[in-house]
Amino acid sequence: MSKKTKALIFNLLSFAVLFIGLRYFVLNYTNLSGIWKPLTAAVVATLLAPKFQAVNTRDGEKLFMKALFIKGVKEIR
């Protein structure tokens, strides 16, 4: 599996996990109605989910992650 595919899968999974958890929270603990429930969960999940990216370097293709509350960019094996 290529690093680009892994980055895509990691991005999808991190967003999905956060979205489902936040949607549950929004549905049960807020007074929002209609389209605002999933929209709020989607916006917050987009902001909080870590971002993964595959980059070609001199040493080959590497996978990097950047998250909102983590300083800098981290390399993923």
Judged against a pLDDT cut of 80, whether residue 77 lies above it is answered with: no
* Contact present, 21 and 38 (Cβ < 8 Å): no
- Look at residue 50 and tell me whether its pLDDT is greater than 80: yes
**pTM higher than 0.75:** yes
Residue 77 vs residue 46, higher pLDDT = 46
Sequence-separated (6 or more) residues with CB below 8 Å from residue 37: 23, 26, 27, 30
Assign 42 a pLDDT band (cuts: 50, 70, 90).
very high
CA distance 66 to 72: 7
Work out the mean pLDDT of the chain and round it to a whole number. 94
Q: What pLDDT sits at residue 1?
A: 86
